[in-house]
Chain A
Amino acid sequence: MGTTARRTDTFSGSSGKAEESMLESGRNLEWIVCAAPDDPEARRAALGELMDAYGRDVWNYAFSITRKWDMADDITQEVFLKAFRHLHNFRHVASVRTWLLTITRNTAIDFMRSAFLRRVTLVDRPSERGQLRSAEQEVIERMAVNETWKQGLSLPRKYREVLILFAHYQLTLKEMAEILGVTEGTVKSRLFHARRKMMSLKEKASDG
């Protein structure tokens, strides 16, 4: 069984040792699943390794999509439970990280859709929109690591996602297209617009 050390670096998705750790974890996972697909203990161990290596990535991506802390927790839980149940379905065409990020995105979209339906069906009268900031905006204002993250999280979802996959996860065009379920051309186009928006936001911020 693999002996991937629990990641202690604060730079999730960064290159170097962490990246090597992820790759090693992926190989360990493959070994575990291939060796004992019906062994619950081996599956648990594989899940533990997955959480060590990709827990932060999954949570950060879920938070980037939803901008809600609680929902990111729920999505992360669901993603790892799905991964646990479908370990045997993992195709080695994609990397483990791409596989998990794809599950994260699909789960997040399902969660947001059901949250929207709950809001639409259970609230009988729309609440008035005032100048008060929402709870998620408060969290981002208070806890975002820097201005660039605040600006990135303020973008519309389709630009936000592609920007974060590109700059934070540093994925290739092909991987981004795979996760987003669009063509590489669409990824390029979205990335172009996302960059322009970020430039515009930075210019506004520097002008005061």
Chain B
Amino acid sequence: MDDRFDRELKEELARGPLTRDGFDERLRRRIEERLDSPRRGPRRILLSAAVYAAAGMLAVAAVWSGVWRFVWTERYTADELAFPVREQVAVSGREYYVIPDRQAFADAAIRSAFLIGLRRGAPNPAGARAVRGYRTMPLPVGGGSWCIIR
């Protein structure tokens, strides 16, 4: 391990490793352009994730508490809701009115509602596909009457 070998090494490795410069104007411009772009550091990403998680949990909690309160204050069970609408009218004894079509519903003065979808399924003896029936029940908020869309 002599000094001569070190000297040779230093002379031969004095230049850059490649014949072409890697750090050129193209790369320099690329760096200068990146200075203006916003940075998303790990802290900001974590903060965003925490904010999104909290917002999501709040939204779930709000929906859940809303459904729970609505269902239990109106005292309808899942079985009752699964009945055909006309039977529900008989069961609940409350006042309903029926809007015959979507246009009429659109013309009604209801601006916000809670929408419940009901599905009824039964095996079809004649064919492979099951028989299904669907109903939607928009329930207006603010003490208005119930309505049913057919």
Contacts and interface: CB of A to CB of B under 8 A. Distances in A.
Interface of A: 10-14, 44, 47, 51, 55-56, 58-60, 63-64, 69, 72-73, 76-77, 80-81, 84-85, 139-140, 143-146, 148-149, 152-153, 163-164, 166-168, 170, 192, 195-196, 198-199
A167 B13 contact: yes
Contacts of A69: 22
B17 interface: yes
A143 B20 contact: yes
B31 interface: yes
A148 B34 contact: no
Interface string B8-50: 1110111111111111000110111011000100000000000
A63 B28 contact: no
B12 A60 contact: no
B5 interface: yes
Contacts of A73: 22, 27, 30
Contacts of A44: 32, 35
Contacts of B15: 10-12, 145
B35 A47 contact: yes
Contacts of A143: 18-20
B1 A145 contact: no
Nearest to A64: B17
Nearest to B39: A85
Given A14-B14, A76-B22, A143-B19, A198 B35 contact: no
5 contacts: A11-B14, A12-B16, A76-B22, A81-B35, A145-B16
A152 to B, nearest CB: 6
A61 to B, nearest CB: 10
Contacts of A85: 39
A157 to B, nearest CB: 14
Given A73-B27, A85-B39, A163-B9, A60 B14 contact: no
Contact of B18 (A13, A63, A81): A63
Given A73-B22, A81-B34, A152 B13 contact: yes
Nearest to A43: B35
Nearest to A150: B17
Contact of A56 (B14, B23, B35): B23
Nearest to A164: B13
A59 B23 contact: yes
Given A12-B15, A76-B31, 18 more contacts: A10-B15, A55-B23, A59-B23, A59-B27, A72-B22, A81-B31, A84-B35, A140-B17, A140-B18, A143-B18, A144-B17, A144-B18, A146-B12, A148-B9, A148-B12, A148-B13, A167-B12, A167-B13
